[in-house]
Amino acid sequence: MSYELTILGCSSAIPSLKKNPTAQLLNANERFFLIDCAEGTQIQLRKYKFKFQKISRIFISHLHGDHYFGLIGLLSSMHLLGREKELHIYAHVKLKQIIDVQLEASNTELCYPLFFHIINPETDEVLFEDKKIKISTFPLSHGIDCNGFLFEEKRSPRKIISEKVKQYNIPVEQIKTIKNGKNFISEDGRVIFNSELTIENKKPSSYAFCSDTKYCESIIKKIKGVSLLYHEATFMNDRKNRAKETNHSTTIDAATIAKLAEVSHLLIGHFSQRYRDENLLLEESKSVFKNTLLAKQGQTINFSDL
| Residue among 101 and 126 whose Cβ is closer to its own copies | 101
| Residue among 30 and 104 whose Cβ is closer to its own copies | 104
The least distance separating its own copies from the CB of residue 95, rounded to whole angstroms, comes to 7
**Which residues have C-beta within 8 Å of that of residue 24, sequence separation ≥ 6?**
5, 6, 7, 8, 34, 35, 36, 209, 230
Q: Are 52 and 83 in contact (CB under 8 A)?
A: no
Give one word for 287, left, alpha or beta, with left for phi > 0 and alpha for psi -120 to 50.
alpha
238 as an active site residue: the answer is no
- DSSP 8-state code for residue 48: T
φ, ψ of residue 222 in degrees (nearest 5)? -80, -30
Q: What is the spatial distance between Cα 75 and Cα 85, in angstroms, rounded to a whole number?
A: 12
In the complex, which residues of this chain contact its own copies (CB under 8 A)? 13-17, 39-40, 42-43, 46-47, 63-65, 69-70, 72-73, 76-77, 80-81, 92, 94-95, 97-98, 101-102, 104-107, 143-144
Whether the bond into 212 is cis, omega within 30 of 0:
yes
| Residue among 98 and 175 whose Cβ is closer to its own copies | 98
Q: Which residues make beta-bridge pairs with 200?
A: none
The least distance separating its own copies from the CB of residue 80, rounded to whole angstroms, comes to 5
- Residue 238 burial (10 A CB sphere; 0-12, 13-18, 19+): exposed
In the three-class reduction of DSSP (H, G, I as helix; E, B as strand; rest coil), residue 147 is classed as strand
The least distance separating its own copies from the CB of residue 98, rounded to whole angstroms, comes to 6
- Among candidates 198, 201, 203, which has minimal Cα distance to 177? 198
| Residue among 140 and 301 whose Cβ is closer to its own copies | 140
Catalytic residue among 66, 145, 212, 253: 66
The least distance separating its own copies from the CB of residue 107, rounded to whole angstroms, comes to 5
The least distance separating its own copies from the CB of residue 68, rounded to whole angstroms, comes to 9
Q: Are 257 and 229 in contact (CB under 8 A)?
A: yes
Element (H, E) at 166: helix 162-167
| Residue among 69 and 271 whose Cβ is closer to its own copies | 69
The secondary structure of the chain in percent helix, strand, coil, rounded to multiples of 5, reads 30, 30, 40
The least distance separating its own copies from the CB of residue 141, rounded to whole angstroms, comes to 15
| Residue among 43 and 282 whose Cβ is closer to its own copies | 43
Residues marked active site are found at: 66
